[in-house]
Every structure is written in C-alpha cells, then in structure tokens.
C-alpha cells in the first residue's frame, strides 16, 4: 500500500513538472519573438505601354529569421524587368528588408498584380494584390502619313578597306626588304674560319699546320687522322699555289709532276726536298692504308718537314707577272659579281613570290578586276568608294546623295519663256572620264495652277537627247516611288552616245525621274556608259536616295 502511494505521488510530480516546463517554454517563446510585418506598395497604378512600375515589398522581422523573396516571373500577367538587390537595415535584434521589382506590360488593359508569397522560416506570408491600368499610346493617323514597310535593300560589300590591305602588303614587302638586306646583302663581320679562307694559299697552309701541331691526334693515337690532314694541307697548297692536280694524284704521280715543273724551270726546288717530301707521303700512305704506326717523334718531325717544304716551295715559285696579277684580280671581281647576282636573284624570287601570293589572295577575295581598278586608280571606282555628299538642290528642293557636289549651271531662256517662268535652277556634275553625268532641274511656272504635262516633258527630253547626237534610243517607262512614298515617273533606256572630241560613239544608258505638282516640275537625269560596272552601281545608289517635296 505504501509502495502504491509513492508511485502515485511520483507520477503526479512528473506530470506537474512536464506541464510547468511546457508552459514555461511556450511563455518564453511568446515573450522572445514578435510576429513579422509585411508591407507592399507600387509607385503608380497607371502606366503607358512599355513603361515601368516599381513594386516594393518591406519585411520587418527578427535578425535570426530566414526570409525568401519571390524570384522570376511570378508577377504574371505583368513582366519582371529587373529585381533589385535587397536593402537591409538592422535595429537591435530586428531587421527591415526592402525588395524592389521593376515591372512592365506591353499590351493595353487593366491587369491584376497577384499577391506574392514571402517565405519566413518556411512559413508563407502574402502581400496585397493590386490593380494596374496600362494605357495605349495614341497614334496620329491624320496629320502623319503612313507608308508601307520597304523591302530589304541589298548592300554590296564595301571596297573601302582594300587600300588598307594594299598598304599592309607594301609594309610587309618593306619589312621583307629590310630582312633581306640585313641577312643577305649587308656586309657581315667575318668569322675566324672565313678570315682564314680568304688568306692566300701559303699563309693559310702555315696556319693550318700550326693548328695541326696543337691538335690532340697524336695524344689520342689517331695517327690516320693526323697524316690525312697533314697530306691534305700540303696537297691543297700545291694545287692552289703551284697549280698541279695534287688532291687526285697518287704519291708517285704528284712527285713526277713536281719534277717536271722543276725540269721546266717553273719550280726552283732541290732534289733533296723532293726526296724528303716523297718519303713523308709514302709514310702517310702506309699509315692510312696499311695501319702503320710510326713513332710520335717521327710524326712531329714530319709535320715540321712539311712546313719547310711549303716554305721552300713558295720561295721556289717565280714572282707573278703584272698580267697574272691583273687576271687574278679580275677573277676575284668576277666571283664577287657572280655571288652578288645570286643574292639578287634569290631576293627577287622571294619578293616576286610574296607579291604574287598577296595579289592572288586579294584578287581571290575582292575579284581581279576590282583589285586592278583599285591599283590603277580607276576614276569611276574612286567616285563609288569615296565619301558621298547628301544635299538638296533647287526649289522645290530635290534631295539626293552623289559622289561629288552638283554645281549650279547658268541657263539662258528666250524672252518668251522668261515671262512664263518664275524660277529655274539647274545643277550638274560630269565625271572626269565622262563615264557618268548627273543633273537636277527644278522649274516653277508663273500664274499656273495645273499639274505638269509629263508626256510633253518626256518628248522634249528625248528630243534633246537626239539633238546631242544620241542615236538608236530605246525608251521604257514605269512608275517610280521614293523612300518616303512620293510617286513620280521613271523614263530609262539605252542608246549610242557620242564620245567627246571624237567621231565615235559608245553604248550608253540613261535614267530620268520626273516629279511635280501644281505649277512646278522636278527632274533628275543621269547618263552613263554601259561598259563601266562602277557607273551602274553609282546610278543605283543615287536612285535609292532621291527624295523630293511636291508641295511648295
């Protein structure tokens, strides 16, 4: 019984502790946390199509809370333009977070900005929904004319950068020329080997024998290499200075040739020297071909003997005559000229090859004729590629773009026409090679309120072409519309045009534009040669820029 009472007290105590703990924790939580506050607003509820509104969301919460703002296109039907960075302000243990969104709409109407979900510590809070009106933009269709959308205009590849490529090629050639001069034609300092090679045979032989003395052939038991070089030195000297075929001759053949020179009096050398020379050559043959190995001291003695033989041979040679010296000088000069010609041929070949490669590359990209006309400065191509001039001429004005400015022309009218004419302005330009001619005419009549008679004007213009000597005139007619929609008449065709200061004719083309209104008329006339492709391109470009005013 006592045990049962103790268990009941224990259970009651545990239950009471649990209730107190739970109440304490709930009281603590309610005391330490304040519910977050959320506000939303817009800077305006009325915008035009494409304008933006600023939607601002402000959240006040504890510094330990995690807040997630809406991201992406959650404002549909409005579109999010930009979501700015969150602005944070701290005050003690509270944070004020402000997020601004830029919104827009491209269709007119009344739209509802939906409520946005703000997540705080995993719990969702919603902003207020708002109504936004988007007004249409009024278009003035009464005072402003409406025009059809123009077709795409094909623009040909500009050749204005061709000069830059040609300049780059020239710079490359100059650099190549500098490199060729520096590495081929410039007199470079000679190396020791080159200096020795330019010495006379006698001096060169002594220097090479001295080098052989300082070599390590004998120390390394390389007797074959030692005697091979020793005999080559003396044989080369004899071939160059004594003028005998020593390198290809055997020992007996070489000694025999020297004896013949001695007997002929061309080589004053004693028999003992020739005999000593023969013994050295025979020893060298044994070392090279029979693997004989003489004493080191003997090998050294043979080198000294060869040096004396070279000296005695040189002294035994007769002094060269003045004619021989001149022949040797001419021979050296001829060798120098041949070497110089080889260098020039090499340099010219490299330069010509690079030029051909550069020209072929440029011609392949721009076209052969285009490159040729650019290099030769073809006059019509220069007009096409240069900066054009946009200007208005006469009154009522005719606006167009041309390679060169049109110059006012003095026109004399008969007295009877002067009375009927209120104003006449003529402007014209003629290319230097007579490939193209451009003119504009603005005519105002006095006391006339009627539309111009274009048929009569066309007859007058064709008659004037015939008077200028144009033959076989072919005429076509069609409607012409400017960029802004002004309509006129286009008369065009071809014929045989007379060449200035010549009795010959050339195939040419013409194009005439006629515009006008009550009491006035405007005219643009262009003539050009058919075989000039650049003239045709100039005409096409001019016709695309023609603009007139038909109201005075």
DSSP string, 109-174: EEEEE---EEEETTEEEEPPPEEEEEEPPP---SSS---PPPPPPP-PPP-TTHHHHHHHHHHHHH
pTM over 0.75: no
Express each pLDDT in 479-532 by its tens digit. 888 888 888 889 898 888 887 767 778 888 889 998 888 778 888 999 888 888
Residue 320 has pLDDT above 70, yes or no: no
Q: For the residues 196-200, what does the mean pLDDT come to?
A: 74
Residue 138 has pLDDT above 70, yes or no: no
Give the integer Cα–Cα distance in Å for 393 and 440. Answer: 7
Helix, strand, or coil (residue 332): helix
- Contacts of range 147-155, beta carbons closer than 8 Å, 24 or more positions apart: 147/484, 147/485, 148/485, 150/483, 153/544
Q: What pLDDT, on a 0 to 100 scale, did the predictor assign at position 55?
A: 92
Query: Regarding predicted confidence, which is higher, 57 or 449?
Result: 57
Q: What pLDDT, on a 0 to 100 scale, did the predictor assign at position 152?
A: 64
Q: Which helix (H) or strand (E) holds 90?
A: strand 87-91
Burial 496-513 (b: 16+ CB within 10 A, else e): ebeeeeeeeeeebbbbbb
Give the integer Cα–Cα distance in Å for 210 and 274. Answer: 22
Query: Regarding predicted confidence, which is higher, 56 or 170?
Result: 56
Contact 315/273 with Cβ under 8 angstroms? no
Query: Regarding predicted confidence, which is higher, 260 or 550?
Result: 260
Residue 280 has pLDDT above 50, yes or no: yes
Q: Is 429 left (phi over 0), alpha (psi -120 to 50) or beta?
A: beta
CATH (one of 1.10.8.420, 1.20.1260.10, 3.30.70.2190, 3.40.1000.10) for 379-548? 3.40.1000.10
Residue 459 has pLDDT above 70, yes or no: yes
Query: Regarding predicted confidence, which is higher, 194 or 123?
Result: 123
Q: What is the DSSP letter of 305?
A: H
Domains of the chain: which residue ranges?
A: 1-32, 37-135, 192-318, 379-548
CATH (one of 3.30.460.20, 2.40.50.100, 1.10.10.10, 2.60.40.10) for 37-135? 2.60.40.10
CATH (one of 1.20.120, 2.40.350, 1.10.287, 1.10.600) for 192-318? 1.20.120
Residue 181 has pLDDT above 50, yes or no: yes
Express each pLDDT in 81-124 by its tens digit. 889 988 888 888 888 999 999 999 888 888 888 988 899 988 88
Q: By percentage, how much of the chain surpasses pLDDT 90?
A: 8
Express each pLDDT in 417-453 by its tens digit. 666 677 788 899 888 767 888 999 888 877 767 777 7
Q: What pLDDT, on a 0 to 100 scale, did the predictor assign at position 98?
A: 92
Sign of CA dihedral 247, 253, 255, 258: negative
Mean pLDDT over all residues of the chain? 79
Cβ atoms within 10 Å of 290's Cβ, excluding its own: 8
Sign of CA dihedral 315, 321, 322, 328: negative
Query: Regarding predicted confidence, which is higher, 452 or 127?
Result: 127
DSSP string, 368-404: HHHHHHHHTT-HHHHHHHSPPEEEEETTTTEEEEESS
Identify the CA nearest to 60 among candidates 99, 102, 101, 103: 99
Give the integer Cα–Cα distance in Å for 155 and 533. Answer: 15
Give the integer Cα–Cα distance in Å for 498 and 492. Answer: 18
Helix, strand, or coil (residue 525): strand
Domains 192-318 and 379-548 fall in the same CATH topology: no
Helix, strand, or coil (residue 100): strand
Query: Regarding predicted confidence, which is higher, 10 or 40?
Result: 40
Q: For the residues 367-389, what does the mean pLDDT come to?
A: 71
Q: Which helix (H) or strand (E) holds 364?
A: helix 322-366
Residue 14 has pLDDT above 50, yes or no: no
Q: Is 56 left (phi over 0), alpha (psi -120 to 50) or beta?
A: beta
Identify the CA nearest to 313 among candidates 243, 374, 375, 364: 243
pLDDT confidence bin for 232, thresholds 50/70/90:
very high
Q: What pLDDT, on a 0 to 100 scale, did the predictor assign at position 54?
A: 92
Contact 500/475 with Cβ under 8 angstroms? no
Task: Kindly report the three-state secondary structure assignment for every residue of 412-480.
Answer: CCCHHHHHHEEEEEEEEEECCCCCEEEEEEEEEECCCCCCCCHHHHHHHHHHHHHHCCCEEEEEEEEEE
Query: Regarding predicted confidence, which is higher, 164 or 9?
Result: 164
């Amino acid at each position: 019984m006592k045990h049962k009472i103790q268990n009941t007290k224990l259970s009651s105590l545990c239950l009471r502790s649990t209730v107190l703990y739970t109440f304490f924790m709930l009281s603590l939580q309610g005391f330490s946390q304040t519910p977050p506050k959320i506000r939303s607003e817009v800077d305006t509820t009325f915008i035009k199509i494409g304008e933006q509104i600023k939607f601002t969301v402000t959240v006040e919460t504890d510094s330990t809370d995690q807040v997630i703002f809406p991201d992406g296109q959650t404002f549909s039907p409005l579109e999010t333009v930009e979501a700015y960075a969150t602005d944070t302000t701290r005050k003690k243990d509270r944070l004020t977070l402000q997020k601004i969104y830029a919104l827009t709409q491209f269709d007119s109407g009344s739209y509802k900005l939906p409520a946005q979900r703000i997540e705080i510590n995993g719990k969702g809070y919603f902003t207020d929904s708002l109504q936004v009106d988007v007004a249409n933009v009024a278009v003035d269709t009464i005072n402003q004319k409406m025009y059809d959308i123009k077709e795409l205009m094909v623009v040909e590849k500009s050749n204005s950068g061709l000069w830059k490529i040609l300049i780059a090629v020239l710079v490359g050639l100059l650099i190549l020329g500098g490199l060729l001069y520096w590495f081929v034609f410039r007199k470079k300092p000679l190396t020791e080997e080159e200096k020795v090679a330019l010495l006379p045979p006698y001096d060169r032989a002594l220097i090479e024998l001295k080098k052989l003395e300082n070599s390590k052939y004998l120390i390394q038991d390389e007797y074959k290499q030692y005697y091979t070089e020793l005999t080559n030195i003396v044989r080369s000297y004899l071939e160059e200075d004594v003028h005998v075929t020593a390198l290809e001759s055997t020992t007996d053949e070489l000694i025999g040739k020297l004896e013949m020179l001695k007997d002929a009096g061309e080589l004053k050398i004693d028999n003992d020297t020739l005999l000593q020379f023969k013994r050295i050559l025979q020893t060298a043959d044994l070392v090279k071909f029979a693997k004989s190995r003489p004493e080191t001291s003997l090998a050294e003695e043979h080198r000294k003997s060869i040096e004396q033989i070279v000296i005695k041979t040189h002294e035994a040679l007769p002094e060269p005559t003045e004619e021989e010296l001149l022949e040797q000088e001419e021979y050296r000069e001829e060798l120098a000229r041949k070497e110089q010609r080889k260098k020039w041929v090499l340099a010219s070949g490299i330069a010509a090859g690079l030029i051909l490669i550069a020209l072929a590359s440029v011609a392949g990209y721009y076209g052969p004729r285009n490159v040729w006309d650019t290099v030769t400065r073809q006059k019509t191509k220069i007009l096409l590629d240069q900066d054009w001039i946009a200007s208005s001429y006469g009154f009522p004005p005719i606006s167009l773009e041309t390679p060169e400015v049109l110059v006012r022309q003095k026109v004399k009218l008969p007295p009877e026409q002067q009375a009927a004419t209120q104003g006449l302005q003529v402007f014209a330009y003629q290319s230097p090679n007579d490939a193209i001619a451009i003119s504009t005419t603005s005519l105002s009549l006095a006391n006339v309120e009627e539309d111009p008679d274009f048929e009569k004007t066309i007859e007058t213009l064709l008659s004037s072409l015939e008077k200028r000597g144009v033959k076989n005139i072919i005429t076509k007619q069609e409607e012409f519309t400017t960029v802004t929609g002004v309509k006129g008449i286009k008369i065009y065709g071809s014929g045989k045009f007379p060449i200035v200061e010549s009795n010959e004719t050339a195939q040419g083309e013409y194009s005439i534009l006629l515009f006008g209104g009550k009491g006035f008329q405007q005219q643009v006339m262009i003539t050009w040669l058919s075989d000039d492709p650049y003239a045709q391109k100039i005409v096409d470009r001019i016709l695309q820029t023609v603009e007139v005013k038909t109201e005075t």
